[in-house]
Structure 1
Amino acid sequence: MSVIEAKKPELGQIVKILKGRDDGKIAVIIGIVDGRFVSIADGDKRKFDQPKKKNLLHLELQEWISSEVVDSIRESGRVTNGKLRYAVSKFIEASQSNA
């Protein structure tokens, strides 16, 4: 079992896209389809209303989970694109300051 398979995806978790057109970009998990697929959005190119369904094998799960996104999805079933952009920018800011 690989490291990626050992981790379970969670709502609001930040991911790095490894395969496809958006290779190298950062997004947020906004839905879990099944054990193999999740829905992701970044609030900019990929909006909440049109999320991308991605295979977990094509994503690198990060340790960072956005509490704002999780709270918003649990309360209303939705999250604003602004909150998604904010979560992505905070993650990028934190990862750059750690490097």
Structure 2
Amino acid sequence: MDAMDAETRPQKGQVVQVLRGREAGRYAVVIGVVEPHFVLLADGDKRKVGQAKKKNIKHIQLTHYIAREVAESLERDGRADDAKIRYALNQYLLRQERRKGE
């Protein structure tokens, strides 16, 4: 197996935070995994599904949140809508805000 184990490997539909580059600090959803060290990211707003960003996995931080609707759509149809991705990211960010407030 690679240097990365299965738990630290990005999955389709997983929300990540970009650490490097001009989009640093922004959140995105993994819409594809390009072996061995790259993922395709989209946020549904600035970075649409049709122009997904290829990013090195060393330059992102994985979260534990997987957007089920996006993951299911990617598995079923091979692609996801920008609206679903925006909705998933908004849900994740709202969830994070609620945790901060506690």
TM over 0.5: yes
Q: Deviations over 1:6-35 (max 9, x none)?
A: 511000000000000001000000000012
Identity %: 41
Equivalence for 2:33:
32
Give the Cα–Cα distance (whole angstroms) in 2 for the partners of residues 67 and 58 of structure 1.
24
Counterpart amino acid of residue 69 in structure 1: V
Q: TM-score, normalised by structure 2?
A: 0.90
Q: Deviations over 1:36-85 (max 9, x none)?
A: 10000000000001100000010000000000001101111110000000
Moved over 6 A (4+): none
Q: Which runs of 5+ in 1 are unaligned?
A: none
Is 2:1 the partner of 1:9?
Answer: no
Is 2:76 the partner of 1:67?
Answer: no
Give the Cα–Cα distance (whole angstroms) in 1 for the partners of residues 61 and 97 of structure 2.
17
Give the Cα–Cα distance (whole angstroms) in 2 for the partners of residues 74 and 55 of structure 1.
22
Counterpart amino acid of residue 74 in structure 2: I
Count of residues in Structure 1 that have an aligned counterpart in Structure 2: 95
Q: TM-score, normalised by structure 1?
A: 0.93
Give the Cα–Cα distance (whole angstroms) in 2 for the partners of residues 56 and 82 of structure 1.
24
Structural RMSD (CA): 0.8
